[in-house]
Structure 1
Amino acid sequence: MTTDLVSIELRKAERSRIAEVDFNNLPFGKHFCDHMFVADFVDGQWQNLQVVPFSDFTFSPALSSLHYGQSIFEGMKAYKNEAGQVQLFRPLENWKRMNESARRMCMATIPEEVFMGGLEALMRIDADWVPNTPDSSLYIRPFLFGTDTYLGVAPSKTYRFCIFTCPVGAYYTKPPKLKVETEYIRSAPGGVGYAKCAGNYAGSMYPTLLAQQEGYDQLMWTDAVEHKYIEESGTMNIMFVINGKLVTPATSDSILKGVTRDSIVQVVRSWGIEVEERKVSIQEVIDGIENGNLTEAFGAGTAVVVSPYSLIGYQGKDYMLPEVAQDNSLATRIYNYLSDLRTGKIEDTFGWMHKI
């Protein structure tokens, strides 16, 4: 099989597992498709590009990424339009961000033809796995990790790049409850907060667990210096509607540059709604809830698309967010627009959809 500038070997699974999946009941990240794309970086070049049956890897206990953390990933989705065609949402943005992460983590970057060639080949062979039921999609997980077998704090010279996929339904079944985190940090200036590296997520698990034991679902991360300014929310960027404007923390080296976040900013501006990308203090948010100027708060990310929040816990007190009629909320309008765009129900005026 040849995909543009790269040659990809294809080895099909002997038996498909698709009949074992109930597409009307899709838990997030539990069912994996029949195939995966794999490529290796050896001797300074990408080689062994293959689409193979989804299966385990076998590695040495001395695998460098297990010890020194050179591991990054992306999250993206595929959809079916009304004609049954498979479409990807802004895949080149994920490719660009993955290479930003790779450079920060001192890893080999991935050429566009390898990333997109492997992705397209995988989508073609597993196209039947892309769901078309409401609120469902095919989640795509590209990831890259060091494969040297050497114990020494130095960048790996070899890497493996893999893409696998899984059909998914809604990430949250109800609006999450947030706790403002003022002790632990997710990232700091000069660090790796803007990279999608595995360690960022590992470091967030313990404080998240503590919050869940208090009855919250996720954290609202604050800056590492003063714990005064809002950065992210759990695994999402965060947005507010304050005085009729969409307000969101400006991206930085401690905040992930979300593809969904960027898409929402562009869409909302095209509707003539003012958007402010700036520092947002937790006190501004609490004051906005109390005086009624803040009317919505929601997360934005690939997994959830848009997820309204129900309350924010801060310094031992819970602040209930306004209950906005679903049809009137900006979050619902954004969600419906992006859903219709991805499934081909409206014109793609931004040129974001990539057809397979």
Structure 2
Amino acid sequence: MKKAHIWLRAETKPYEQRTALSPIGAKKLIEAGFKVTVECSPQNIFTQEQYQEVHAEIVEQGSWVNAPKDAIILGLKELPEDDFPLIHQHIYFAHAYKEQAGWQELLLRFKHGGGELFDLEYLVDEQQRRIAAFGYWAGFSGAALSILAWANQQQNVNPPLANISSYQDKEQLLGDLKQAISQIDTKPKMLVIGAKGRSGSGAVDLAKSLLLDVIEWDLAETKKGGPFVEITQANIFVNCVLINRDLPPFITKELLDQPTRKLSVIVDVSCDPYGSYNPLPIYKQCTTFETPCLRIDDTNVLDLIAIDHLPSLLPKESSEDYGEQLVKHLLTLTDKSQGVWPAALDLFKRKITEIKTGNI
């Protein structure tokens, strides 16, 4: 059976340096007999030369629109906005199945062109768990930013963070963190809820790498139900739990108003301020790399970080990790009747049918 042709398109979302396929992943595919085409990209954390070294074909940015029809177009974030029909099979985070802005227009492009979508968000195993996720590095990066913000708070820097840029690698970030902590006489105490999950383990590992006092909470510690006064006695609180049902909130404004509060930085790694099950109902909008901190209290200083693309802080490690998880399944693309592909394709077809029959 002829191996598939995988075409890595260049990301166009501003500041997005991550990629769905690292040079290491490309090498594995090529060694397995796949053809791999990689578009030139000034944003990709990996260089064109690194892909050339593993014998990937290098082409111009955006040329996927003219790729052979049997090429499978692989990306990470959304396609550039346009209206031409989509004729290829695509793999990426489309954000089109929960009625997000522009979802109908996007799916109609697939319908008109005869293309198909395998949404990365819905590539799941038998337990309905994503086969590839950025969660670990989201937690790691969120915890890192909380420490930088805390250190700046101790030196009366306001805002404590601004105009964040990505780091070349983890070691560069750790160097900045160690330097920041060295300027302060004490170290912060961190509480992580969801410590046993993907993002929680990343936050805990970051704290331990800096020899911080970290309190690890998971289901056993939270089963009593919130609000949790213990959160206010840590210096930093990192939330790594995505709630999908109605539960008492973890913290409230009334709890934070207590004069005994030691908490000064909150990081909501799960970052779902718009959902009805938000366990941190003290804010209503995400923050950004340009403006990372939302000041919750000026008197007894409290800042909140809620960035929805935290792994972009470490594009190299997060891309390598994600790519290693994903490439195992890309290697099965020659036969899409098996593995994670049939369910993802069935979901796409159901969504297309909803548009065709007017059930939108």
Q: TM-score w.r.t. structure 2 length?
A: 0.25
Point out the structure with the larger strand share: 1
Kindly name which structure, 1 or 2, has the bigger radius of gyration based on alpha carbons.
2
Q: TM-score w.r.t. structure 1 length?
A: 0.26
Point out the structure with the larger helix share: 2
